[in-house]
A and B are shown apart, each in its own frame.
Chain A
Amino acid sequence: NAGVTQTPEFQVLKTGQSMTLQCAQDMNHEYMSWYRQDPGMGLRLIHYSVGAGITDQGEVPNGYNVSRSTTEDFPLRLLSAAPSQTSVYFCASSRDRQETQYFGPGTRLLVL
C-alpha cells in the first residue's frame, strides 16, 4: 500500500491564483481530512469527509473548498490564493472515526 499520497510536494502561487492540492489513499478509509500546519499553532483542521459525497467544515475552512466523489480521493481547492494561506498542508485518513489517522507527506505552499 502506498498509504496517503499528496501532490504536489511544493507549490508557489501568486495572490489570486487558484489551485488544487491532491490527496489519495489506498487503504479504503472512509474518513479523510485536511489540516494546515503553521509555526506555533500545531495542526488545524480545514475540512473533513466521513465518506464519499459527504464533507464538512473544520476549524479554518474559509478560502478552501473540498469534494469527495470517491472513497480514495479528497482534493482541496484554493479558489483565490492569499498570502495568509502560505502553510504546509497535510491530508490524513482513518478507518474509523475514532481511530489513528495516517498522514500524507504534506504540500508546502507559498503564496506571494
Chain B
Amino acid sequence: AQSVSQHNHHVILSEAASLELGCNYSYGGTVNLFWYVQYPGQHLQLLLKYFSGDPLVKGIKGFEAEFIKSKFSFNLRKPSVQWSDTAEYFCAVNLRPGGYNKLIFGAGTRLAVHP
C-alpha cells in the first residue's frame, strides 16, 4: 500500500539553526510531491511542490526541497529558521496519472523555533 512517512514528529530548534525534515514515500510510479504548512490557528497552505524537471524546488519563505527518486524521498530544508517558522509541516504525495483520489499525507512534523 502507498504511504508517506515523516521521520520526525516533533522538532525543536533555535533561531538561525538549519532545518531538514525528512519525507519518504512508498510508490513505484510517477508522483507529484508537495509540502504543506499549517501555522498555529490557520489552515493548510502550500509551501512548495514538485511535478517534474529540476529535482531541487524552491518554495516560499526560503524553503526548498529535493526530490531524490532513487531514495523515494522529498526532504524539506531551510538554511536558517525563524521564530515565525513555528508550524506543522505535512508532506503529501499525489499519485498520477488518475491519482486525484490518492493524495496521501504524512503524519506531520511539528516544528517549534525558539528565539
Judge whether A62 is part of the interface by a CB distance below 8 angstroms.
no
Contact with A along B78-105 (1 / 0, CB 8 A): 0000000000001010101111110101
Number of contacting residues on B, CB 8 A?
27
Cα A94 to Cα B96 with chains together (Å): 15
* Residues in A neighbouring B6, C-beta threshold 8 A: 42
* Residues in B neighbouring A103, C-beta threshold 8 A: 36, 43-45
Cα A42 to Cα B4 with chains together (Å): 10
Taking a contact as CB atoms closer than 8 A, the residue among B32, B99, B107 that contacts A40 in the complex is B107
Contact B90 A42, beta carbon cutoff 8 Å:
yes
What distance in Å separates the Cβ of B60 from its nearest Cβ neighbour in chain A? 12
Contacts A103-B44, A105-B43 hold; do A42 and B106 have CB atoms under 8 A apart? yes
Nearest 9 A/B pairs, CB to CB: A97-B100, A42-B105, A103-B44, A43-B105, A42-B107, A105-B43, A103-B43, A100-B46, A42-B108
Q: Which of B16-69 contact A (CB under 8 A)?
A: 32, 34, 36, 42-46, 49, 51
Q: Which of A13-21, A44-52, A65-73, A79-87 contacts B (4 or more CB under 8 A)?
A: A44-52
